[in-house]
Structure 1
Amino acid sequence: MNNAPFKALACPLDGDPLTQVEGTWRCATGHSFDIAKQGYVNLLPVQRKRSNDPGDSKAMVAARQRFLNAGYYQPIAEAINHATLSGAPENMPLSCLDAGCGEGYYLRQLAQAAPATVLIELIGLDISKWAVMAAAKQSRQQDQSATWVVGSNANVPVQSASLDRLLCMFGFPVISEFARVLKPGGMLLQVEAGSNHLRELREVIYPTLKPERNDELTVPEGFMLQATETVSYSLALNGKEAISDLLAMTPHLYRASAEGRERAAALETLAVSVDVRLVKWIKSE
């Protein structure tokens, strides 16, 4: 592994560059943000929170951690690794932000996949403090270097034009912010669910499935389409915990009725389709 923490953070209150001084990040105006003992920094101002505890709960984070660490989404991680590292210059830093990083699975996989000739600077951002706390803890356990930040995609606490790569994995893209923080020629890698993604689970928890949505791509302002890629395969889930964990890490946990969740909880095994689309956007010059 050849990775390092990303340093070009910006103050969430005034946008000025932040400088790390021992256990604190400070801007020239005097705003300061302490690094927690777990190794992350909270850059989500209280006035920008929509609730006291936004984002995924501690239980949801634990479910995602168990599911992803079991390797069920490894093919997705491998596709992301290949796309992120493709064209990376040797012996030069490659900065990468995971916007909506959860418990850090995809950045940890990327750190392991990066060749010794590429120094990759990593930053994980999530609005859930429980997710970022879990990410920082696992990163330390695996002796990986990264910057872990509680923050929002609506106000990415990163200096403008400072990133080479930006991942948005099943997340909520804020294109204007993503365009601001990416360098010209930088890459936005967006992973979204395809029409058949988790179809078998959805058939269990919903009375009927919604009509298929239009999958036609709309080019976001400030970007050019480089390529798209589909990752499709089947998973065999054995045991109630794996099925429960999968449901808990998706929006379907809240969208399903109590009866639908009960039907899923009764399952002992489930064969389910994984169907995702990886879209590679290039920031315009």
Structure 2
Amino acid sequence: MKITPFQALACPLEGGPLYGNGSTWRCAAGHVFDIASQGYTHLLPVQKKRSRDPGDSKEMVAARRRFLNAGFYQTIAAAVSQAALADLPDTATASCLDAGCGEGYYLRQLAAATGEGQTLALLGLDISKWAVVSAAKQDKQPNWVVGSNANLPVQRGTLDRVLCIFGFPVYGEFARVLKPHGQLLQVDAGPDHLRELREIIYPALKPERIADVQAPKGFTSLSTATVRYRLDLSGSETIADLLAMTPHVYRASAERRATAAKLTDLSVTVDVRLTRFERSALR
């Protein structure tokens, strides 16, 4: 297994290639982006931010780091890694982007699963600075950048794999940066995902409809698999971390959050859908 630096970054202002130069990245137009002391690069221009501090908060990132590092979603990570590494050549470097990488758990798991002789160039991107800082502190091997899926700072047609795990897919951008026949791996919550927790924090659950998986423009569908298992949680801190790392923490009432905070044991269903799309050949 070998992890090599990702080199196909693009300037978020004018789209040309970025060239590494010591502790900076530079483009031919003269734009310069510093590599922070923690080991990440900020490639989200202020004029493209929708808020002053977009993405997950420092507290959400810390909760997610504790929960994921405890191994509760390792089964999901293993399924993603197996799918991502399938069909990759052993003799060439493969490039992979985790679009919405959070604190980097799934990219670290992918690196650990890489086979002997395989070489990966890994890039983790998230709109949350706090997430990217956490990822860079935990592993220096991948490149970590603050950026947006809506304007990926990646050169056209340079990626073999894009991961979008519980994220916000922007299919036009994913199609732009993938090589022909490169793959997008998308993980979404299934209808029963964390149902038991949702039953506690919401007065009623809306009926879930399982939609047919349609290939987005520029892609063809390869496969869809379900990852489903029971998860037994002990300790109010662990349950609080699970709630804090999901969007449900914003949607639940203060009273319902207080009810969840009193729990010391909870058994929940993990139910996610892993879909693989292939980038259509360019014409």
Q: CA deviation at 1:218?
A: 1.8
Deviations 1:178-217 (A, max 9, x none): 0000000000000000000000000000000011133211
Question: Structure 2 CA distance, aligned partners of 1:130 and 1:255?
Answer: 22
Q: CA deviation at 1:170?
A: 0.4
- Equivalent residue, structure 1, for 2:127: 127
2:94 matches 1:98: no
2:64 matches 1:64: yes
- Equivalent residue, structure 2, for 1:53: 53
Correspondence for 2:255 among 251, 254, 259: 259
Q: CA deviation at 1:55?
A: 0.4
Correspondence for 1:204 among 200, 205, 208: 200
Q: Which runs of 5+ in 1 are unaligned?
A: none
Question: Structure 2 CA distance, aligned partners of 1:204 and 1:237?
Answer: 15
Correspondence for 1:284 among 271, 274, 280: 280
Correspondence for 1:162 among 137, 155, 158: 158
- Equivalent residue, structure 2, for 1:180: 176
Question: Structure 1 CA distance, aligned partners of 2:211 and 2:244?
Answer: 25
**Equivalent residue letter for 1:188:** L
Q: CA deviation at 1:91?
A: 1.8
The answer to which of 213-222 and 25-34 deviates more is 213-222
Question: Structure 1 CA distance, aligned partners of 2:200 and 2:44?
Answer: 37
TM-score for the superposition, normalised by structure 2: 0.98
Question: Structure 2 CA distance, aligned partners of 1:218 and 1:256?
Answer: 31
- Equivalent residue, structure 2, for 1:193: 189
The answer to which of 111-120 and 29-38 deviates more is 111-120
TM-score for the superposition, normalised by structure 1: 0.98
2:10 matches 1:10: yes
CA contact (8 A) 2:214 2:221 kept: no
Q: Which runs of 5+ in 2 are unaligned?
A: none
Written as runs of structure 1 = structure 2, the 5 A alignment for 1:228-239 is 228-239=224-235
Question: Structure 1 CA distance, aligned partners of 2:197 and 2:241?
Answer: 12
Question: Structure 2 CA distance, aligned partners of 1:30 and 1:23?
Answer: 15
Question: Structure 1 CA distance, aligned partners of 2:16 and 2:153?
Answer: 9
- Shift >3 Å, 4+ stretches: none
Alignment RMSD? 0.7
Q: CA deviation at 1:68?
A: 0.1
**Equivalent residue letter for 2:22:** E
- Equivalent residue, structure 2, for 1:248: 244
- Equivalent residue, structure 2, for 1:138: 138
Deviations 1:2-28 (A, max 9, x none): 111211000000000000000000000
Question: Structure 2 CA distance, aligned partners of 1:123 and 1:76?
Answer: 20
Question: Structure 2 CA distance, aligned partners of 1:92 and 1:228?
Answer: 27
Question: Structure 1 CA distance, aligned partners of 2:209 and 2:6?
Answer: 37
Q: CA deviation at 1:116?
A: 2.0
The answer to which of 272-281 and 114-123 deviates more is 114-123
- Identity among equivalent positions (%) equals 64
> Tell me, what secondary structure is at the counterpart of 1:102?
coil
- Equivalent residue, structure 2, for 1:78: 78
**Equivalent residue letter for 2:258:** E
